[in-house]
Amino acid sequence: MRIDLAYDGTDFKGWAKQPRLRTVQGEFESALATVLRVPEAQVVCAGRTDAGVHARGQVLHLDVDDEVIAAAARLHRGGPDLGVVARRLNGLLPGDLRVRGVSEAPEGFDARFSAIWRRYAFRIVDTTERLDPLVRRHVLAWPRELDMAAMNAACEPLLGLQDFASFCKRREGATTVRTLLDLFWERDADGVLVGTVRADAFCHNMVRALVGSLITVGEGRRDPQWPAEVLRAALRDPAVSVVAPHGLTLEEVGYPEGAELAAQADRARNRRELA
């Protein structure tokens, strides 16, 4: 099954299940096991989100036997009605965690490894008058107005296949090579500064560290070429701050079609390095 999920990350300690902590995976798998009437259910997600990070477009997959699905969903025109599974899940889940859809996954689909890109948005309110208290848990309040043009100028050299070690929290044996497809800022109708960040994958803290460096440029404390200089150094720079998570939302995950699903999953499992 493919499951599309949305959540407000404020009161979760991140995606990954942890003992005695409230996490998205823990809450969801508990409800899923109840709906499917199985002792436990284990899902794979497109990308693990940190504590406080939100999602509109998280994607999961679950390998499940046909008879389990048949028992959990009413038959509809000879097959299971997976909409029933979605409705039953939403009846059990807390209000800050919602299923947006349940469908039969195509052959070769893997929520994590079949993905060809993930798109995040980071939202900043940089004048106190624009801060709407109704959305304060989903935007970063910044006390000084930021220069969007300077921030966009700093974005361009960061695009493409790069080693983002300077902006990632290193993990043993994990590569920091990523392809950054989009990075730009624009203001929405309410004046909120929205950063779009799209890449084939992200390493730990990468988006929040990139945003931190671009805020430094937007404040005028560094020139627009500074983030690219940090990138080329391939070392964590103490001048790069990792901003708070609550302005960050996983908006969408992209997948290929047909036979490319399995082929992409095979490619993604290979460790990437710069030539």
In this structure, the number of other CB atoms found within 10 A of the CB of residue 249 comes to 24
Q: DSSP 3-state assignment of 202?
A: coil
Question: Which residues are paired to 76 by β-bridges?
Answer: 79
Among the listed residues 46, 63, 37, the one whose alpha carbon sits nearest the alpha carbon of residue 6? 46
Region of residue 37 (left: phi > 0; alpha: psi -120 to 50; beta: else): left
Catalytic residue among 4, 8, 50, 126: 50
223 close to 239: Cβ distance less than 8 angstroms:
no
Which residues are within 8 A (CB) of 215 and not within 5 positions of it... i.e. 6 or more apart?
A: 124, 142, 146, 151, 241, 243
Cα–Cα distance measured from residue 2 to residue 6, given in angstroms and rounded to the nearest whole number: 14
Is 50 a residue of the active site? yes
222 close to 152: Cβ distance less than 8 angstroms:
no
- Which positions are catalytic? 50
